[in-house]
Structure 1
């Protein structure tokens, strides 16, 4: 166990799998107390229990982050259980509907925007006051390569992730002088459960989009997120960080 995040308390959404799980393990290993938030209660409990069994401190919290009241309850749980809130990784997301804009199911579009964009707003709405009360903090929001470039087959996802990029910048400017740093990460296609149902042909097509010749790993994104959450990134706020195997350089 390290101590880079000793005495720090973190709230991680989408913490039951993929990138959220990887970040939960990594910062807990460095001493952070972690509130593992996910709609999947069983998955969140599995991650929290594993952290605890490895000597860390974690609490599973089942919540629908599209509901502001449930998000508020998450922040209150972190403060009540661990004494404060210093770190936030707002990572919950879905891939959502694909296809031409005019063929998108409107209910599915609304659902994607609520999960991928609205929830980030709600999380920061409640996290930031708690962090200011704790003397400052750091937030990382998960955007995407599609928060930097377009894709005609994923219009709702592109819209939401560009929204996260702009929301991050504006919020960072608002709270830079109050000790809260806010940045966004922009992963390429990462081998996570979101891709588990792809055909071999579709998977190979995704690999071909990355000059590095493979998809990313959750741990590789977690390295970047951990750095941005840490005091090593103390002069970084309002910025976008791609971890994409060269995708957006093309």
Structure 2
């Protein structure tokens, strides 16, 4: 059992539900003070309230993480209330329609880039100065194994997730001397609220291609993020860690 964190602040974007909520609650268990971000104030406060009820320390900071001014204001509000952000988890996402090439246009691709490239850039520029001043920190990005697996109609999403790998590896080389690590967690298919009920035949076909024959759960991702946020992961940077039960792409 790792030692609890003493006073560190972790920011998780898109934490009003799904993977973000699980990550926020897991980091709170480790002792992090959690800044819960979501575009929607009510779900963000629900996550923060659940953490406080469980004995943790958290507050909601709703903001549009694709807006430069909103990101700067949010990070400053967190610093004022809790201190500098030492762990930044870029989890926020947007609509993910299935759009084939014939219907795909640049604006739709830009929508994916807003969340998976622009938002992590804005977050990094806002939190890295505080990490440097504190002597180190963690930038953790949420990618997707769909970049490897591929699926018709998902090329815009896949392109943005691939670009995020480039940001991760480039920033890791820039920030290592500052004791700031930069890593990416690439989940497989982790069913959450929006997926609804999954038919048995779909599950059977999926598990036939997966070494661990069960659905991944949000805590599988949250536990990986928690490790990367910990002192034990201080020698790991520039990595893309796939968490998908050993799914076979071919």
Shift >4 Å, 4+ stretches? 197-209
Q: Residue 167 of structure 2 aligns to a residue in which SS?
A: helix
Q: Residue 47 of structure 1 aligns to a residue in which SS?
A: helix
* In structure 2, distance between residues paired with 1:44 and 1:147: 29
Deviation readout 1:37-94 (Å, 9 max, x if unpaired): 0012111101101111222111101111111111112211221111222111111113
The 8 Å contact of residues 188 and 215 in structure 1, kept in 2 or not, is answered as no
CA positional deviation for 1:215: 2.4
* In structure 2, distance between residues paired with 1:44 and 1:143: 21
* In structure 1, distance between residues paired with 2:15 and 2:58: 11
Instruction: Please say if 1:37 is aligned against 2:40.
Output: no
Residue 195 of structure 1: aligned partner: 195
Residue 152 of structure 2: aligned partner: 152
Residue 122 of structure 1: aligned partner: 122
Gaps of 5+ in 1: none
The 8 Å contact of residues 88 and 140 in structure 1, kept in 2 or not, is answered as yes
The 8 Å contact of residues 89 and 140 in structure 1, kept in 2 or not, is answered as yes
Aligned residue runs from structure 1 range 1-250, under 5 A: 3-94=3-94, 96-196=96-196, 209-247=209-247, 250=250
Deviation readout 1:188-240 (Å, 9 max, x if unpaired): 00011342387776666655553433321000111111000100101001111
Q: Residue 172 of structure 2 aligns to a residue in which SS?
A: helix
CA positional deviation for 1:134: 1.7
CA RMSD of aligned residues (A): 2.3
The 8 Å contact of residues 146 and 158 in structure 1, kept in 2 or not, is answered as yes
Deviation readout 1:132-152 (Å, 9 max, x if unpaired): 122210111001102345333
Deviation readout 1:12-38 (Å, 9 max, x if unpaired): 001111111111111111211110000
Q: Residue 85 of structure 2 aligns to a residue in which SS?
A: coil
Q: Number of paired residues?
A: 250
The 8 Å contact of residues 146 and 162 in structure 1, kept in 2 or not, is answered as no
The 8 Å contact of residues 149 and 249 in structure 2, kept in 1 or not, is answered as no
Q: Residue 37 of structure 2 aligns to a residue in which SS?
A: strand
Structure 1 pair 116–10 and aligned structure 2 pair: CA distance change class (3 A): same
TM-score, normalization by structure 1: 0.91
Q: Residue 28 of structure 1 aligns to a residue in which SS?
A: helix
Gaps of 5+ in 2: none
Structure 1 pair 130–149 and aligned structure 2 pair: CA distance change class (3 A): farther
Q: Residue 61 of structure 2 aligns to a residue in which SS?
A: strand
TM-score, normalization by structure 2: 0.91
Structure 1 pair 193–112 and aligned structure 2 pair: CA distance change class (3 A): farther
Structure 1 pair 179–60 and aligned structure 2 pair: CA distance change class (3 A): same
